[in-house]
Amino acid sequence: MPLNSSNEQVPARVRKISWSGSAATGRRPGSTHGGLRWESVPWAARRSHLGRRGLAIGIDIGGTKVAAGVVDPSGRVIEEARRSTPGNDARAVEQVIVELVQELGRSHRIASVGIGAAGWMDLDGGTVLFSPHLAWRNEPLRENLQSLLRRPVLVTNDADAAAWAEWRFGAGLGESRLVCITLGTGIGGAMVMDGRVERGRFGVAGEFGHQIVVPGGHRCECGNRGCWEQYASGNALGREARELALRNSPVAYELLKAAGGSAENITGLP
């Protein structure tokens, strides 16, 4: 399927207008996207949800850093702040988020907070089911953060948030469908299909980084072996460089020198 459809194939943008169908199943007859109904709206008529609710803080929780930004209704980042991710302590990650919101909230009136988390979310968006790189296991992150921040909080997968942002404001502007790959500690992935993030039946669709590309290969943090992110992520880059340095490979001479002569100092991350 071509990512870049011809003009005739590009539908107008869509927005959520109501729930319909069975509350028990969350689906309407004939829908493959759950119980949401959508209508087409022309570009010019689209209004930003942010615009009606003032400034928001967007927070990206990755495997190595927590990055936060104050965002205006046009998607512009007004101010940024960041911290290192305390990777093995879920409470410490929440505390870092609180600190960032307090820091940015000093000079801006913040109405709501959006979280992009490097983890697999349930369909409801309240619980992080699992994170390969962080300490979350069935973590009720939205509830925890709403009580700590005393503001409306939206939590979603980090790659889903990135895909949505690219569709709304960036590389996907004007397209009806896009695939987004995020490269960092691991590899994240997400799809926007006809104006919505396609999350699949269980909420974890588009995890391209955990497709097996080398059967029986390196063990992945997700539990499987040979996932793509074991061969092409920041972590993978660091591992390969360390292995080359330890073997005293000529291709790693310069790298080893830059790392102070110790292979363990090579991380593959900025």
* Shortest spacing between CB 198 and Zn ion, in angstroms: 20
* Count of CB atoms situated within 10 Å of the CB of 15: 15
76 or 137: CB nearest Zn ion: 137
120 or 167: CB nearest Zn ion: 120
* Shortest spacing between CB 210 and Zn ion, in angstroms: 4
Choosing from 90, 159, 178, 220, the residue that interacts with Zn ion (CB under 5 A) is 220
User: Considering the rule CB under 5 A, would residue 210 count as an interface residue with Zn ion?
Assistant: yes
Choosing from 93, 222, 245, 266, the residue that interacts with Zn ion (CB under 5 A) is 222
166 or 240: CB nearest Zn ion: 240
12 or 129: CB nearest Zn ion: 129
Which segment (101-109, 147-155, 220-228, 251-259) binds Zn ion by CB under 5 A? 220-228
Which segment (161-169, 170-178, 216-224, 245-253) binds Zn ion by CB under 5 A? 216-224
* Shortest spacing between CB 180 and Zn ion, in angstroms: 18
From CA 201, how far away is CA 129, in angstroms rounded? Answer: 14
Which segment (35-43, 171-179, 206-214, 242-250) binds Zn ion by CB under 5 A? 206-214
* Shortest spacing between CB 135 and Zn ion, in angstroms: 17
Burial of 245 (0-12, 13-18, 19+ CB in 10 A): buried
Choosing from 227, 236, 245, 266, the residue that interacts with Zn ion (CB under 5 A) is 227
* Shortest spacing between CB 97 and Zn ion, in angstroms: 25
121 or 227: CB nearest Zn ion: 227
From CA 256, how far away is CA 28, in angstroms rounded? Answer: 59
From CA 162, how far away is CA 58, in angstroms rounded? Answer: 11
220 or 236: CB nearest Zn ion: 220
Distances (CA, A) of 200 to 82, 145, 197: 31, 25, 9
- Give the residues lining the site for Zn ion (CB under 5 A): 210, 220, 222, 224, 227
